Amino acid sequence: MSPLVISTLLFISFASSSLVRSAKYSVLSYGAKPDGKTDSTKAFAAAWSQACASTKPATLYVPKGIFSLSQVIFQGPCKNNAILVSVAGSLVAPSDYGLIGGAKNWLVFEHVNGVTLSGGTLDGQGAGLWSCKKSGKSCPSGATSLEFSNSNNIVITGLTSLNSQMFHIVINACQNVKVKGVRVSAAGNSPNTDGIHVSSSTSVTILNSRIGTGDDCVSIGPGTSNLWIENVACGPGHGISIGSLGQDVQEAGVQNVTVKTTTFTGTENGVRIKSWGRPSNGFARNILFQHAVMNNVQNPIIIDQNYCPGNKNCPGQASGVQISDVTYQDIHGSSAKEIAVKFDCSKKYPCTGIKLEDINLTYQNQPAEASCTNARGAASGLVQPTSCL
C-alpha cells in the first residue's frame, strides 16, 4: 500500500475508534428522576464514579427535567482526563437550607483534570437562608453552589446559576480554567452571593458572562495570578473586586489581572481593590482595568485599604498589602456619588504606579470628583474628574 493509503486508513480507524471509545453515562440509568421531587443525589454520584473510572473519554449526561440534589462530590482523580458533563436540565438544591447550609458547598469537583461542564441551570434556592441571615437570627453560613478545587484544565460553559445560598461559583486552587457564557442571577439584596470567586488559582479566563447578584459579581482572592476577565456585564452587585486581601498576616499576593470590556449597572462599586487595614505580607500588582462603562455606579473606581468591618481587630492599623502598577484605561459613564475616583491607600505602603488614562466619569451630568490618600502615579489623556495623583 502507498503511504497515503496507509495514513488514510490509520486516520479512519483513529477517528472511528475515538467515537466508539467515548463512553456515555446518563444519570437516568442510575435511578435519577427528572420529576423535581425524588432525591437523585445517589444516582448522580454513581454515574459520576463510572465516568471517572472509565479509561476512555466519558460523557456524564443529565437530560431535560428537574433533578433534586443534596450535596454531590464529583471526586477525582479520574482514570481519564476528558470528561464532559453535559447538562440539559435543572439541578435544584433542597429548599430546606438546613440540609446543605452547614456544608461548604453543594456541587463540588475536587482533584479532577480535563472536565468540561456544559449547559444546565443550578438553583440554590437560597431565599430562605438569606431571610434568616437578614433577620439577625443565628443561621448556617450557607453552601457555595458550584466549586472546582485542586483541579486543572476545566471548562464551564453555558451554565446558569440562580439564587445560591452563598457564593454561586468558586474556582479555588486550580490551573487553566475557562468560564464562558455563564449567567448568574440572585436578588440585589441577597447576602454573600458573590457571582464567581477565584482564589489560589492561575490562568483563569472569564468571558462573555452576565452577573447580577447581592455581592461581588467577581471577587478575586489571595494567590490569584494570570486572570483574564473580558466582556462581563455586572449589576446589580458590588462590582468586580480584588479582595478582600490582607485578612491574614501571611498571604499570597494577586498579580497579572486583566479586566476588559465590562459594563456596570447600578452597582455599589465598579472596579475595586480592597484590603483589610491590618498587617499582612500580601500584595496586588500588574492589574489592568480597561474599557469599562459605568451606569450610575456608587464607586466606579476605588481602592479601599481600610476595610475593617465592625471596627474589630484592626481600628487605626495600616494595611500591609502593597498595591502597585494598576492601570485604569478608557473608563467612562456616570457615578451615583460625587466622588467617582477614590484611592484610599495604606499609610504604611502607599499605592505606587497608579495610571489613569482616558477617564470620563460624570456625577449628575457634571464632572465628578477624585480623592487620593497615600496614592502615587500619573494621569494621561483626558482624565475627568481631574486626577489627584
Ligand X SMILES: *[C@@H]1O[C@H](CO)[C@@H](O)[C@H](O)[C@H]1NC(C)=O
Chain residues in the site for ligand X (CB under 6 A): 226, 228, 256, 258, 360, 362, 382
Cβ 172 to ligand X, closest distance in Å?
Answer: 18
Q: Which set of grid coordinates corresponds to residue 315?
A: 481600628
54: helix, strand or coil: coil
Cβ 263 to ligand X, closest distance in Å?
Answer: 15
Q: Which is nearer to ligand X, 139 or 370 (CB)?
A: 370
Q: Which set of grid coordinates corresponds to residue 289?
A: 482595568
Cβ 225 to ligand X, closest distance in Å?
Answer: 7
Q: Which is nearer to ligand X, 45 or 207 (CB)?
A: 207
Where do runs of H (alpha helix) occur along the chain? 3-21, 41-53, 127-135
Exposure class string for 143-170: b at 16+ Cβ within 10 A, else e:
bbbbbbbbbbbbbbeebbbbbbbbbbbb
Residues whose CB falls within 8 Å of the CB of residue 288, separated by 6 or more in sequence, listed in order? 257, 258, 259, 260, 326, 327, 329
Cβ 227 to ligand X, closest distance in Å?
Answer: 6
Contact 185, 213 (CB under 8 A): yes
Q: Which helix (H) or strand (E) holds 174?
A: none
How far the first Cα of the chain sits from its last, in Å, is: 75
Q: Which is nearer to ligand X, 103 or 288 (CB)?
A: 288
Contact 316, 354 (CB under 8 A): no
Q: Which is nearer to ligand X, 30 or 228 (CB)?
A: 228
Cβ 316 to ligand X, closest distance in Å?
Answer: 36
Tell me the longest C-alpha to C-alpha distance in the chain.
83
Residues whose CB falls within 8 Å of the CB of residue 136, separated by 6 or more in sequence, listed in order? none
Q: Which is nearer to ligand X, 160 or 225 (CB)?
A: 225
How far CA 377 is from CA of 154, 172, 263, 281, 310, in Å, comes to: 38, 32, 25, 22, 31
**Active-site annotation holder among 111, 168, 197, 238:** 238
d(CA 139, CA 153): 36
The DSSP symbol for 310 reads G
d(CA 261, CA 232): 7
141: helix, strand or coil: coil
Cβ 294 to ligand X, closest distance in Å?
Answer: 11
Residue type at position 30: Y
Q: Which is nearer to ligand X, 120 or 300 (CB)?
A: 300
Cβ 170 to ligand X, closest distance in Å?
Answer: 19
Contact 318, 347 (CB under 8 A): yes
Contact 357, 383 (CB under 8 A): yes
Tell me if residue 291 is catalytic.
no
Q: Which is nearer to ligand X, 70 or 200 (CB)?
A: 200
Active site residues: 238
